């Protein structure tokens, strides 16, 4: 079953000397449970593609269908509703709220959608990533690896059907990054969710079912 489909997807922005094409006529299909890595040099459009597929940004042209929803036809509230319960995110910069504890960060997506048992579900996810003893710590009191494990717990606590990961090991040393990656793939397998992974790390890309290359806004 196809759960993500991009059709003739383009993204242009206005630059000082005229329009700048970031993505040019990209087509992509992803099946349920499949893991796809997108690699390519910096500035090639990888992160823009991920943002469009996840409904975080709007395309200039083309169609995006995510979980049977036409994202290109929805406003921001509509796209947010799709993301809220069925999509997880892991970013290079962790994106934890600094004023919330680890537990509160993981509880947040459940509370925003008024789901039951938010605390117990968040505690269970933190236990799964090995951070039960750190759940009352603020992000500033955690190491980079611990922060990314909190981010993984937050991403999976809603039981998503798709995980979007943008350079998840970019701010981690190799050993810590390897541990986080192993955990991410284990959790993905347990939840049977699809994965769209943007990375510079060929070793990480090779763990996916398919590897696609982005060059100057085009996908191959």
* Share in percent of the chain as helix, strand, coil (round to 5): 40, 30, 30
Query: Which bin fits 11, alpha (ψ -120 to 50), beta or left (φ > 0)?
Result: beta
Per-residue confidence (pLDDT) for residue 220, from 0 to 100: 83
Tokens for 121, please give them.
């579900």
Q: Which residues face 88 on adjacent strands? A: 163
- Pairing, β 210-215 against β 61-66: unpaired
Tens digits of pLDDT across the chain (220 residues):
899 999 999 999 888 788 889 999 999 999 999 999 999 988 889 999 999 999 999 999 999 999 999 999 999 999 999 998 889 999 988 999 999 999 999 999 999 989 889 999 999 999 999 999 999 999 999 999 999 999 999 999 999 999 999 999 888 999 999 999 999 999 999 989 999 999 988 889 999 999 999 998 889 8
Which stretch of DSSP H or E encloses residue 151? Answer: helix 144-156
Per-residue confidence (pLDDT) for residue 134, from 0 to 100: 95
CA 68 to chain centre: 18
Distance CA 62, CA 6 (A): 7
- Supply the DSSP string of 154-211, one letter for each residue: HHHTT--SEEEEESTTTTS-HHHHHHHHHHHHHHHHHHT-EEEEE-S-HHHHTTSSEE
Distance CA 201, CA 79 (A): 30
Tokens for 45, please give them.
């459009």
In CATH, 2-219 is 3.40.50.300: yes
Per-residue confidence (pLDDT) for residue 46, from 0 to 100: 93
Q: Tell me the longest C-alpha to C-alpha distance in the chain.
A: 54
Residue 194 burial class via C-beta count within 10 angstroms: exposed 0-12, middle 13-18, buried 19 and up: buried
């Amino acid at each position: 079953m196809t759960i993500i489909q991009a059709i003739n997807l383009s993204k242009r922005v206005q630059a000082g000397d005229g329009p700048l094409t970031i993505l040019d006529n990209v087509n992509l299909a992803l099946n349920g449970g499949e893991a796809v890595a997108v690699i390519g040099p910096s500035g090639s459009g990888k992160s823009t593609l991920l943002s469009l597929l996840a409904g975080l940004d709007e395309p200039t042209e083309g169609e995006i269908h995510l979980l049977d929803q036409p994202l290109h036809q929805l406003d921001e509230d509509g796209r947010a509703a799709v993301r809220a319960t069925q999509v997880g995110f892991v970013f290079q910069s962790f994106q934890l709220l600094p004023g919330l504890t680890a537990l509160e960060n993981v509880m947040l997506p459940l509370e925003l959608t008024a789901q039951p048992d938010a605390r117990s579900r968040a505690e269970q996810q933190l236990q799964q990533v090995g951070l039960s003893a750190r759940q009352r710590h603020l992000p500033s009191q955690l190491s980079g690896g611990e922060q990314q494990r909190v981010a993984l717990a937050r991403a999976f606590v809603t039981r998503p059907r798709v995980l979007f990961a943008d350079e998840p090991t970019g701010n981690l040393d190799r050993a810590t990054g390897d541990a986080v990656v192993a955990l991410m793939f284990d959790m993905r397998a347990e939840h049977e969710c699809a994965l769209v992974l943007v990375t510079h790390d060929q070793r990480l890309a090779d763990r996916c079912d398919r590897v696609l290359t982005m060059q100057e806004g085009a996908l191959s």
